[in-house]
Homo-oligomer: A and B are copies of this chain.
Amino acid sequence: MNLIKRVAIVGGTHGNEFTGAYLIKKFEQYPELVQRSSFETLTLLANPKAFAATRRYIDQDLNRAFLTQDLQNSTLSDYEALQAKTIAQQLGPKGNAQVDVIIDLHSTTANMGLSLLLANRSPASLQLASYVSSINPLVKVCSPHPESESAGLRSLCDLGLVIEVGAIAQGVLDAYWFLKTEELIHTILDYLQTCNQGTYPIGESSLTLYETIATIDYPRRAAGEIQAMIHPDLQGRDYEPLNPGDPMFLGLDGQTIVYEGRSTVYPIFINEAAYYEKGIALTLTQKQTINVPKI
């Protein structure tokens, strides 16, 4: 019996993240590329209206619209609320999804290279991540703080993943990252195929995880206007240690603002364009080494 019966590859959840959107366009034209004999592969351009407008979203961030209570709330009727309900009908519902794996393709203006964002720390997620890391040691693996329900599209099924690549400007198709992302998708599909065939590929027994612990906003004036930018010493240094006293922001007044936390952290999503409006200049993570559960 196959463990994995259906896999969904999703792109354009944010309409101005072209890597994923055009990979979906490519897979629609050449579906054989993502077919594997032991499972079915679906592809989905998640936010076609935002993609056509080269905008992240039309009314609200689609990748924050998948809370169960919102999916069940009939009064929510803006474009992305409706789109989320449609996608949940196609792939979900949570807890009883029609697909076994979701690979949601994103890009960031932060220098995050090739990153895998897990929806959770289930054994299946960790095993997949550790295998992918063993094939490509440059891949970084992030996990959310295990707390409240995720509002992301990937939360529709248990084995939900985001591939996050960068730095890529919004509205730009970057061939280098396009090819790297495509390669990573094939690594994952081949892994799932091998799992179905009963010979589980073994990854490393330990895995480095970057777990989100907090976010930090830009220093702002009372009216909300930004008063400082990411410090040049921090720009582009995602996944590198940020120590207490290290420069974090450079004010318009020329003054340096340092990180005042008590311990070393590992920032990600440094200077992500889409997060200015969310009040996030960088996301702090803890670097952890965990043992991967045996299959």
Contacts and interface: CB of A to CB of B under 8 A. Distances in A.
Interface of A: 22, 25-26, 29-30, 54, 109, 167-176, 178-179, 225-226, 229-232, 235, 250, 252-253, 271, 273-274, 276-277
Given A169-B169, A226-B22, A175 B250 contact: yes
A169 B277 CA distance: 15
B235 A176 contact: yes
23 contacts: A22-B229, A25-B252, A30-B252, A30-B253, A54-B276, A54-B277, A109-B171, A169-B170, A169-B273, A170-B171, A170-B273, A171-B274, A172-B271, A173-B229, A173-B271, A174-B229, A174-B271, A175-B229, A175-B230, A175-B232, A175-B250, A176-B235, A179-B232
A166 to B, nearest CB: 9
Residue in A26, A178, A229, A250 with the greatest tally of chain B CB atoms within 10 Å: A229
B273 A229 contact: no
A173 B226 contact: yes
Number of copies: 2
Given A22-B229, A235-B176, A276 B109 contact: no
Q: Closest 4 interchain pairs by CB?
A: A169-B169, A171-B273, A109-B169, A173-B229
A276 B54 CA distance: 10
